[in-house]
Structures are given as C-alpha cells and as structure tokens.
Structure 1
C-alpha cells in the first residue's frame, strides 16, 4: 500500500524537530510512503529534498504557540504580528501545493504550533490530519486558548503523536495520544569538515570531556555551562567544556536590538564568546561551531550536558546514549522512556550553575558510575529510539487514521 503524505514543517533551520522528521520519513519511505513537503525556507529543506517526491518552500509559516514556555503573554503578544505577516506567504504556498499535487492521503504536521497551516491543508485536501506534539503543552485547563486547542484536537485532528511520555502527560487525558519516540541513526555517515576535526583534536588529552550539542540559545542553558566552568576552575579536576553548535538565525540591526529589548532573542553565541574571554575560560571552554556529523562528537564525549530551561530531555540525550554517554539534564519529572535519573544520567534543577557544577564533579570523581550510566543510556536508546521500529509504529498510526477517516467519510476502498 502506497501512501501519499503531505508533511508540514514551519521550522526553516535544521534543528531537533526537523532532524526527527527527516529520520522518520527516511524509514517511512521503505514502508511505501511517498513524501511531499511544505516547509519554511531554511537549511532543513536540504535534507527533506533527499527523501521528498516534491517540495514547496514558503518564506515563513504562521503558527500559534501555546507551549508551556512559548505561550503568548505580555510583550510576547507582539509575536502575532510576525504570524500575520507570514500568513499570505503560507496561504499561497498551500494553494500551490493543492494545484500541483491535487490530492494526498494524509497530512502530517511536525509540531502542533503549526495548527493553522495544518487545518488549512485539511480543508484543501480533505485528508486525515496527524499532529506531532514535540513540545510540552501549556497545562492550564481554564485557559480559553487551551480549551480552544483541545476542541480543535477533538474535532479536526485524526491522530495525535507525542514524542515521549512527558509531552503526553501535558495533554488532556480525554485526548487519545500515541507515543512514538524520536529516532536517531547511530551510524556515522561522514567525517566532519577538516577544520572541525582539527579543532576537536586540539583539545587536551586525558581531560574529562563534557559537552553540549545544539543551537547556542540562552534557553538551552549554555550560560549555565560556562558559569559551571567558572565554579570548577578552582578545583583540581581537569575538565574540558565542549560546545558544538551555532545559531539558527543571525538577527542584525534594528530587528536584533528590538528582539533583545523585548526579551525574544535566543541566539547567544557572541555573548557566550565574550563571557568566556572576560572570565579567561578559553583554556577549558571551547566553542567548536556546528557540524552535522554529531556521532563523531558523541563518540568523543564523556558526559553530555543538557541544562535546558524547558524541563524536558532533548534529542541530544538519547543521541549521546547510542555512544554510551550519560547525560546531566535539567528536568524535574522525567518519564522512564527518555531519561532515568541515577541510571542513565543525573537530573538537576534548571538555571543552577552550582547544581550543574556539582553533577559534573560527581561524574568526574566517580568514573565507575559514569560508565554504568553510559551503558544504561545505550540500552535505553536501543530500546526506544531505533529508527526502524519507530517508523513502523508511525506507519501503523497512518494506516489506522486513514482507515477511520474513510469509514467516517464512507469512502470504502482507497482512492
């Protein structure tokens, strides 16, 4: 059975959500999925084109953010001006998609903040809608926005997929939610660029390598990492702090100033470099830049640092697990399918450089525990994050959603 699936992704730059979708679709093709993409312009398109039958880009895509940390309040309501600006570009792109592709069997939106283009696509194509929930939802049952989104989920969404138990727990119990963990292909496909390899191999031999992988955003906890380096600098421990990543978009001029004043700016690379220079941390803190060959990095780390402010383990936690690397994660109530405190790593409080420093010191001083947790992280990664198994789960969800949709519509056999 071949399924013609329209994938909608509004995040232009390649990030965790885009990588997760690419990993899934790469395997779904083997199950008979014909992928068509409607995406915002950015580096993620370069990956999607590798698996897409066809792809349409738009300048941007309107979203409605009601996640736990990104929901609109105060000055953040001004962000709706951006969503209004993107709407005509998105609408025209959807019309182009309808004109070019005529029909699709399913629509899969890569994050529920893009519910607006998802509903329009459902209206245009008259196909079942799969919504992937990747962020912790705002859990305020009396909020009118939450009530509205829950109504939309119940009325118009044919299947909801959460990336882990923690995300599922933020959604109302009355909703039927399938958990399909993200996936990672642990095989290294290529060597990183020579200049990146040169920078990595220049690190001191014999030190404990603790590292961060991801976009250098303030909310990812990168400031706490260099602050922890300050705390540990006076100890006798020999530790290298490795930060691998870049920025998603480089804002400049008036836009950069305005975003900074309103507290919306997230890119933190230049401030981070200034902090390292000011505190004379260049001997132990190393910003190596981005690379797509992240397995190379994980294979050379001893501990992964993920002190995000979002109270959730991110992709790097299980990606590092495939390389037997334990993690230090800022999370209060992890679910056992993604991260197990004291078994696959250490859980700490968010926004606490001291807690991060203490956890790093513990794993430095207890190599046996570090190895044990790394082995457990590897076992958990193989259990829950293998691409083939998760693609099969997702394909089964597609089939069930399509079957139920056809039954409701009285369509009988496939078109």
Structure 2
C-alpha cells in the first residue's frame, strides 16, 4: 500500500536541496509513495509538478535558521522579521492542505530550518514527522536557541535523516540518525541548450578547464575563484574558468539596497562580472548561466571548484564525480562518504585564493593525478549516490516510522 507523504520545502528556487528531494522522490519504486507538496513559489515547482499528486504553494515559509553559516547574530536577528511576515502564509497553506487532502501518512521536511512548518503539519495531520538535515547544524554550541531546537527534535521529530557524514557529525551523537546520501541522475534534459553548446564549443580545446556549479552566492566562494584566477593569470598557464549557474532571485530597488547595506544580499552576478572586468580576466572567465543538462558541462570539465564558506563538500562534488571529474574543495575534516583528499580531489583552506590557485596549477601540471583522482571520484559517486539505492533506504525510514518505533520515541525513552 502506498504511503501518502506531505513534502514541505521552503526554498522556492530549484537548487541543491530541491533537486535532491526531486531525485529521491522520482526514484521511489512505482506505487510506493504518493507525494504531496507544500512549497514556496519558485522554479522548483516546475519539477515537483512532474511528481506530485497535488501541490499547494505559499508566498514564503518561516525558517528557524541555526546552521553554522546562517545562524542569527548581530544584525542578522532582523531576519526574524521576515520569518514573522511569512508565518501567516504558511499557516493558511497548511490549513488548506489539511482541508483538501484530509489524511496524510507522514510529513517530510526537506531541511531542518523549516522544522516549524513541519511541526505544525504534524499537529494538523496527527502523523509522524521526518526531518532532513542537509546543512551543517549548530546543534552542539550550548546556546539557548540550540537547546530549544534540540528539545523540539527530541520530543516531536520522529526520524532524522542526514545527507552525509559531515552533516551527521554536527548532530548529537546519541541521536538515532539515518545517513542517506543525496543522489544524482545525470540527465534531466534530453539535450543541452544551444547557447551552452556554442559557448563551450568556442573555448580553446587544449586549455585546462575548471568550473564552478551553483547559484552565484558570495558564500559559495565565487570571489575567491576570481582572486585565484588573477594569481593564475600571472603564471601564464592556460586555464579557463567556467561559472555555471545563476541567481535565485533578482532583488531590485530599495529592497536590494537595504539587503546589500546590511550584508544579507547573496545574489552577486553583476558584482562578480564587474570584478572580472576590472582584473582583466574576461578572456579566461566564462559565465554560462544555468542549465538542466548539467552533466553536459561536467563531461567537459577537468576539475570542479567548490571553495564554499560552509566547510563541507556540496552536491556538485559528487555530481562531477559521475563524469570522472575530481574536485578542489574548501573543507577541514571531510568524511570519506563524499570526498577523500588526495584520492577524489584536493582539500584547501576556506577563503584562501592562494591555496585554491596552487591546487589548480598542481592538477594542471599533473594530468595523470587529475585523471587518477577523477577515476576515484567516479567510483565513490557510483557507490554512494545512486538514486535507486538511496531512495529504497529512505523508503525504509518511512516504513519504520509508519509501522514501528520512531526516533523521537527512542529519544524520549532514553530521556
């Protein structure tokens, strides 16, 4: 009998977390899950509509951000005003979901920052709650907000799923957490867009091609990539930098000015392009925009760059692995389920363009090492990030809490 699951996703834009959810639900065995979605309006809806029995949208969704990067501090506490603004919208959406769908077997929240909407959904439908933890959390710092969040998870969350060992390491060690890696289906589009084909076809065939994939956020280390390119330019080595992706939204006018002044603005496409021109890097830097057929790009890269400020290997690292592409990642203590320094790529310090440039030049000068690491990256990707394997594991979590004891019951018993 199919399990009716309400998926709650507040991101809106089709990015790493929404693509991961899409991949997981798409790979479930036929007839195993009936997916319903409550999601923020945005490009992710185009993909959820391919899977959903039904969808209810909301203008926005309140977050409880206690990630290592986005936790509330200083002027960031003002972001709570946004959360209060969105709260009525998600309440109305959840009530509509209850009235329209009547009964649901469980609620699945796509990232732990949206645990509050998930708890409300759990209460309205009287069903178990699964929470995916995708970002590195601040579960162990002892702050009041962390203690409150821990208490909420211990008492009300029925199952916790972490996407990899790095994320698992940030969650209390005595919690019964299931680690299920994200998945990647190489092609979501039948053929690449012509502008993308033309841009890639115009690049020098013999150059060393390094690429960034993702939304153009300052926190993803995109400006460190520009600084590294500036250092490499002086070396005279032929390296092309491919920036694949776009922005999640276009803030304009007064809103954009306020966000920029307060340090909240993330979408920096124009600033990045301006910096590239100022440094005279236009001949080496190529903005390719977003694409659905991302494997077409990976197949033409020599190395993936992921100098994120988040201190964790992101989704593009294992996506590139399926194409035999190694990565250069800003991470201190990577876990072997996602990235192995010296074997599947090179680890560098965060926010350090000099180390990033050195790593790029090393792989450019040592093509045999680049190919060896790429082969290792492919094996790791195929072993840990297969959609069918990981979706079956997630389905096992569902069956365990619908028909058995939940993680919350185990934690309450321990307490």
TM-score in terms of structure 2 length: 0.97
**For the residues of structure 1 that align with 2:123 and 2:315, how far apart are their CA atoms?**
33
1:222 correspondence with 2:222: yes
Equivalence map 1:319-358=2 (5 Å) = 319-358=319-358
Moved more, 384-393 or 22-31: 22-31
2:313 aligned with 1:306: no
Q: State the alpha-carbon separation in 2 of the partners of residues 29 and 103 from structure 1.
A: 22
Deviation at 1:195, TM superposition (A): 1.4
1:58 Cα deviation from its structure 2 partner: 0.4
Query: Quick check: 1:68–1:139 contact (8 Å CA) kept in 2?
Result: no
Q: Which moved more, 1:356-365 or 1:28-37?
A: 28-37
Aligned to 2:165: 165
Structure 2 alignment gaps of length 5 or more: 410-415
Could you tell me how far apart the structure 2 residues matched to 1:133 and 1:5 are?
A: 18
Partner secondary structure for residue 30 of structure 1: coil
Match of 1:413 in 2: none
Residue 133 (structure 1) aligned with residue 133 (structure 2): yes
Partner of 2:150: 150
Match of 1:28, SS?
coil
1:66–1:137 Cα contact (<8 Å) kept = yes
Structure 1 match to 2:19:
19
1:405 shift after superposition: 5.6
Q: Which residue of 2 aligns with 1:73?
A: 73
Give CA-to-partner distance per residue, 1:71-121, whole Å, 9 cap, x none: 101100100000000011110000100000001001100000001100000
Query: What is the SS of the residue equivalent to 2:404?
Result: helix
Q: In 2, Cα distance between the equivalents of 1:113 and 1:326?
A: 31
Residue 291 of structure 2 corresponds to which residue in structure 1?
Answer: 291
Change (3 A) 1:362 1:400: same
SS at match of 1:50: coil
> Is contact 2:325-2:374 (8 Å) kept?
yes
Q: Residues 188 and 295 of structure 1 are in contact (CA less than 8 Å); yes or no, is this contact kept in structure 2?
A: no
CA apart distance, 1:192: 1.9
Q: CA deviation at 1:31?
A: 5.5
Where 2:50 maps in the other structure, the secondary structure is: helix
Q: Which residue in the other structure is 2:413 paired with?
A: none
> What corresponds to 1:41 in structure 2?
41
The separation in 2 between residues aligned to 1:48 and 1:139, in whole angstroms, is: 30
* Cα distance in 1 between the residues matched to 2:16 and 2:402: 27
Distance 1:139 1:2, change over 3 A: closer
1:367 is aligned to 2:384: no
Contact 2:244 2:288 in 1 (8 A): yes
| 1:244-323 matches, cutoff 5 A | 244-323=244-323
Deviation digits for residues 299-344 of structure 1 (CA, Å, limit 9, x no counterpart): 0000000000000100000000000000000000000000000000
Does the CA-based 8 Å contact 2:209-2:302 persist in structure 1?
yes
Asked if the contact 2:186–2:294 (Cα under 8 Å) also holds between the matched residues in 1, the reply is no
1:188 shift after superposition: 6.0
Note the C-alpha offset of 1:204: 1.5
Between the aligned partners of 2:373 and 2:36, the Cα distance in structure 1 is 40
- Mapped to 2, the partners of 1:252 and 1:192 lie a distance apart of 30
CA contact (8 A) 2:140 2:171 kept: no
SS of 2:27's partner is: helix
Could you tell me how far apart the structure 1 residues matched to 2:156 and 2:139 are?
A: 20
Q: Does 1:378 align with 2:343?
A: no
Once the two structures are superposed, what CA deviation does each residue of 1:104-156 show, in whole Å capped at 9, x if it has no partner? 00110000000110000000000110000000001444211111111111110
Distance in 1 between residues matched to 2:166 and 2:270, nearest whole Å: 33
User: Aligned-pair RMSD on alpha carbons?
Assistant: 1.4
Q: State whether residues 128 and 405 of structure 1, in contact with CA within 8 Å, keep that contact through their aligned partners in structure 2.
A: no
> What is the SS of the residue equivalent to 1:51?
coil
Q: Is contact 1:215–1:248 with CA below 8 Å preserved after alignment?
A: yes
Q: Tell me how far apart the structure 2 counterparts of residues 159 and 6 of structure 1 sit (CA, whole Å).
A: 15
CA–CA distance in 1 between the matches of 2:29 and 2:368? 42
Q: Unaligned 5+ residue runs, structure 1?
A: 410-415
- What is the distance in 2 between the residues matched to 1:56 and 1:299? 37
Per-residue displacement from partner, 1:36-83 (whole Å, max 9, x unpaired)? Answer: 000000000000000000001000011110011111011001000000
* Contact 2:332 2:347 survives alignment (8 Å): yes
Question: Residue in 1 aligned with 2:121?
Answer: 121
Supply the distance in 2 between the matched residues of 1:27 and 1:153 (Cα, whole angstroms): 28
TM-score by length of 1: 0.97
